[in-house]
Amino acid sequence: MTTATIPRPLSFAGAPPSAWAFGVRIWVAVVAALAASFWLELEAPASAAVTVAILAVPTRGGALDKARFRLAATIIGVTAAIVIVALFSQTRDLMLAVFAAWVGLCVCAAGLLDGNHAYAAVLSGYTVALIAIQQLDAPEHVFESGMARGAAIAVGVAAIAVVNDLLAAPDSFPQLASQLVALHRGVRDYAKPVLRDEATDAGTAAGLLRDIAALRPEIASLATESASGSIRRAAARSTAVALVAAVHAARALKAVVAATNPAMDDMIAASAHSPASAWASRESLRRISEVREGLAALNAGHRPLCVWRMPLYRSRAIAAAAGLRAAACLVLASGFFVLAGWPSAEVSLSLVALVIGLGAVSPNPQGFTVAAFIAAPIAAVLAGTLEFLILDGVTEFPLLALALAPFVIGAMVAATRPHPMVASLGRLNLIFILVILSPSNPQSYNANSFLFVVLFLCTGIGLLLAAETLIPPESNERRQRWIMASVRRDFELVLSKRDRRLAPEEAMFRDAARIGQIPASGASHRDSAVLAQALSYFDRAAAIRLGRDSVARLAETSLSHLAAEAEEALATQDTQRLRDVSLALMHVAGAGSALAEEISGELTLAAIVIDAARHAASPAMEAVS
């Protein structure tokens, strides 16, 4: 008998070596950014260090992509700050109102975007706070302040880019490829119950679609990583789109097996009995092979055979509500500071805008504010320890660099932990420690200003938390209603052929992204019903688009009259008529037309999917209404 031992993964203090390497990289980058800023005698060296903390992403491509957007958004933010100050510097209250409106607009724009695009939108908003609002009493210095911040950000970006390159930060694509492989496995597992005719639940399908659509921002950031980055991005996009199409194919197969013979428990036996089943299983295998081709192209850095885009879906209503709420929270906080009449309250207000902005791009904005509220006092204690106990008046740069090491590395190791709260606390702590410490040359070691900054930070975040409690976000039910209204509206456009000109697979991906936006855990009866209804529309829209795409090939042939009839049947979801057209095509196929046989199979499949989706939607409709 032989025994095998499973080697334990290497770890130190509970964290893997990759997390420690990430921490060390960020520490080196922070030190390099500070050294360069001090050497160049920049006015805001702390901004360079904070830039590194904000761009702290474990992969090289992710950090470079974020840096690109950070530079662009800073230019937009500085321009907006100059315009706002030029127009409203004489009317403080009006300027604060315009500033709140600008931040609201930026949060709304972030709601319509994703990934680093959304981050750039909120950064454009809070840059105005850091430049215009912090110079509220000295508007003539806005330009210099903007230039100083821009220079510091450029130094921070250069520092993290060079350090990531020299210290061999991992590339994004191997990690992304492994995520896509895991999803591929998930899709095949989802298809397995179909083969055995077991019940598949809407939650599993919606979860898969949500996970696939959630990779969109990571895929977009592949382009900056290497010379072949844009090719790899195209391959990853095609793989993700093919995965969504594979989920649809698996659901279509399930519908066909159920429709062909409900008692049949073997898909292969079913396929022998029906041309639609044979077509559905062939379609499913084709989608799986498309995923495999995409993965191979991603790993090899080759252009994929099918190049698909990944259209984004965002609810305008949800984005507008988030923007209005952000503006209202900022107006409440500004009103409080104006009434309180505290000196230097603009520092606190700019921190409120920063937390609103960063919260808007996090999955749970309210949770982010709570994390910031917890992180602020922890960061204050840590920054105080660093400044007054460890450094305590030293002026040598190497000592500052050494003293920063445990704080930066510890925070970054915490940021890589799987628990979302611990990860948020780690990331926020590093940003807050650098903001409170505000490294400068020479360091002032002024306890008075330290206490003021801590007080402003804690007051600002506490005030924001109070404002967010007073103005709660819209409920999950309302969000579900808004998204379902958009689903129905878009489905009407599909029926009337007025939808966006996208390939059927691309449109499927957009629908999958919308399903991913539905706030539903699937635990409650209502959540399951909403997901079932959304999936029903997803299936029908995909079947109609694929059906249209295939009958379009008959347009220039002698069977164009059948193509027109099939088009009408698809537009009215008349499944009986679709079956009749399919039969007519089968007769032609008997005369040796392979194309007619293929399209006949596709139309029968579309009819079965539409019937099954309608059948699944009717109880869900009752449950939701």
Partner 1 sequence: MHSFSELVVGDVFVAPFVVYAVAALAIFFALRPILRLCGFDKLFSNPAVAQLSLYVAILGLLTVAF
In the complex, the smallest distance separating the C-beta of residue 220 from partner 1, rounded to whole angstroms, is 17
DSSP state of 14: T
Pair of tokens at residue 197: 């005719």
In the complex, the smallest distance separating the C-beta of residue 491 from partner 1, rounded to whole angstroms, is 41
Backbone angles phi, psi at 22, to 5 degrees: -60, -45
Pair of tokens at residue 18: 């990759």
199 or 227, CB closer to partner 1?
Answer: 227
CA–centroid distance for 324 within its chain: 21
In the complex, the smallest distance separating the C-beta of residue 146 from partner 1, rounded to whole angstroms, is 11
Angstrom distance (rounded) from CA 568 to CA 577: 9
Site string for partner 1, 161-190 (x = CB under 8 A): -x-xxx-xx-x-------------------
Q: Which of 228, 299, 385, 476 binds partner 1 (CB under 8 A)?
A: 228
- For position 548 contacting partner 1 by CB under 8 A, the verdict is no
- For position 28 contacting partner 1 by CB under 8 A, the verdict is no
- For position 226 contacting partner 1 by CB under 8 A, the verdict is yes
158 or 328, CB closer to partner 1?
Answer: 158
Residue 147 vs residues 47, 119, 143: alpha-carbon distances, Å = 12, 21, 6
Cβ contact 241:508 at 8 Å: yes
In the complex, the smallest distance separating the C-beta of residue 63 from partner 1, rounded to whole angstroms, is 11
- For position 86 contacting partner 1 by CB under 8 A, the verdict is no
Cβ contact 52:33 at 8 Å: yes
In the complex, the smallest distance separating the C-beta of residue 26 from partner 1, rounded to whole angstroms, is 17
| Selected range binding partner 1 among 45-53, 116-124, 222-230, 581-589, rule: CB under 8 A | 222-230
71 or 76, CB closer to partner 1?
Answer: 71
Assess whether the previous peptide bond of 58 is cis (omega < 30° from 0): no
In the complex, the smallest distance separating the C-beta of residue 493 from partner 1, rounded to whole angstroms, is 38
Enumerate residues 6+ apart whose C-beta is below 8 A from 338: 92, 93, 96
Of 112, 134, 135, 137, the C-alpha closest to 122 is 112
In the complex, the smallest distance separating the C-beta of residue 149 from partner 1, rounded to whole angstroms, is 15
- For position 301 contacting partner 1 by CB under 8 A, the verdict is yes
56 or 569, CB closer to partner 1?
Answer: 56
Total residues belonging to the chain? 625
In the complex, the smallest distance separating the C-beta of residue 117 from partner 1, rounded to whole angstroms, is 19
- For position 10 contacting partner 1 by CB under 8 A, the verdict is no
In the complex, the smallest distance separating the C-beta of residue 130 from partner 1, rounded to whole angstroms, is 20
Site string for partner 1, 144-163 (x = CB under 8 A): ------------------x-
- For position 260 contacting partner 1 by CB under 8 A, the verdict is no
200 or 226, CB closer to partner 1?
Answer: 226
Place of tokens 């990853």: 236
Within 395-454, the residues that bind partner 1 by CB under 8 A are: none
- For position 231 contacting partner 1 by CB under 8 A, the verdict is yes
Angstrom distance (rounded) from CA 413 to CA 401: 18
In the complex, the smallest distance separating the C-beta of residue 174 from partner 1, rounded to whole angstroms, is 13
147 or 378, CB closer to partner 1?
Answer: 147
Angstrom distance (rounded) from CA 33 to CA 17: 24
User: Residues 274-282: contacts with CB within 8 Å, 24+ apart?
Assistant: 275/586, 275/600, 275/601, 275/604, 276/601, 276/604, 276/605, 276/608, 277/253, 278/601, 279/598, 279/601, 279/602, 279/604, 279/605, 280/249, 280/252, 280/253, 280/255, 280/256, 280/605, 281/253
40 or 555, CB closer to partner 1?
Answer: 40
Q: Which of 25, 60, 248, 479 binds partner 1 (CB under 8 A)?
A: 60
Task: For the chain, report the end-to-end CA distance as a whole number of angstroms.
Answer: 63
Enumerate residues 6+ apart whose C-beta is below 8 A from 245: 287, 290, 505, 508
- For position 555 contacting partner 1 by CB under 8 A, the verdict is no
In the complex, the smallest distance separating the C-beta of residue 286 from partner 1, rounded to whole angstroms, is 29
302 or 481, CB closer to partner 1?
Answer: 302
Residue 15 forms beta bridges with which residues? 12
In the complex, the smallest distance separating the C-beta of residue 116 from partner 1, rounded to whole angstroms, is 17
| Selected range binding partner 1 among 192-200, 226-234, 486-494, 578-586, rule: CB under 8 A | 226-234
In the complex, the smallest distance separating the C-beta of residue 165 from partner 1, rounded to whole angstroms, is 4
Total residues in contact with partner 1, by rule CB under 8 A = 14
Residue 136 vs residues 53, 97, 349, 406: alpha-carbon distances, Å = 26, 13, 11, 36
DSSP state of 322: H
162 or 296, CB closer to partner 1?
Answer: 162
40 or 269, CB closer to partner 1?
Answer: 40
Angstrom distance (rounded) from CA 379 to CA 360: 22
87 or 166, CB closer to partner 1?
Answer: 166
Angstrom distance (rounded) from CA 514 to CA 505: 14
In the complex, the smallest distance separating the C-beta of residue 407 from partner 1, rounded to whole angstroms, is 27
175 or 228, CB closer to partner 1?
Answer: 228
Pinpoint the alpha helices (H) of 112-141: 115-128
Residue 148 vs residues 48, 130, 144, 413, 432: alpha-carbon distances, Å = 10, 11, 6, 31, 20
79 or 230, CB closer to partner 1?
Answer: 230
| Selected range binding partner 1 among 29-37, 173-181, 227-235, 462-470, rule: CB under 8 A | 227-235
- For position 72 contacting partner 1 by CB under 8 A, the verdict is no
Question: Which parts of this chain interact with partner 1 (CB under 8 A)?
Answer: 60, 162, 164-166, 168-169, 171, 226-228, 230-231, 301
